[in-house]
Amino acid sequence: MPLLMSERGSLSLVRPTLSPTYLLLQPNELLPVEPNASNHLAVARQNGDASYNASTAISVYYAQARNEIAVGSYVLPIVQPLLGGILARFNARSVAEYIGAINGNATALQLLSQAPQTLSQPIWYTMFNLRPYTVQVASAVTLVGHIYVIIFAYDSFVVVSVHVLTVSLGSSSLCLAQAHER
């Protein structure tokens, strides 16, 4: 499986020892890519395959039901623009390199006219929500959670009142205390 790596603006193919294929554009950008995604794009460009689907190249899996607030507030708003920016830069480089490689070849240009999506958006991603959050599924768990919160909140705020009775008998005194929970 090839690994696409960028070194000072140029892409190079490397055989990794890792099982998935990764797209590395910058030192801090590593993106898992489906196997043979580059080959599928190259074949679609060479054959003018109008059925080429760019969104099958990268799959993003997440489980919204685990924490729907975190997914909606943090995960998706960060992942989608990040992937969009990375793939926009990669797609621009890929198209520029391919146009430079065909160098006015009339047959290649004719095939590109049959599959324009290989130039407009060569690689893209699809989001897969493995566990969608639905109110019907989570309502029982949420209700039980609220009940536990009420119970624990009540137990932690038990009010204790203490009645103190002091009895003085001459030179000695006796102190009695009684506690009552409310």
Residues of the chain with pLDDT under 70: 1-31, 135-140, 154-182
Q: Domain extents for the chain?
A: 3-133, 137-182
Tell me the C-alpha distance between 90 and 95, whole Å. Answer: 9
Asked if 3 contacts 17 with a C-beta cutoff of 8 angstroms, the reply is no
Residues of the chain above pLDDT 90, percent: 27
Asked if 64 contacts 127 with a C-beta cutoff of 8 angstroms, the reply is no
pLDDT tens digits for range 19-38: 455 555 554 555 678 888 88
CB-facing half-sphere around the CA of 65: CA atoms within 13 A: 13
pLDDT tens digits for range 137-154: 666 677 777 787 888 776
Structure token digits, residue 158: 């038990």
Tell me the C-alpha distance between 18 and 131, whole Å. Answer: 27
- Do you know the residue count of the chain? 182
pTM above 0.85, yes or no: no
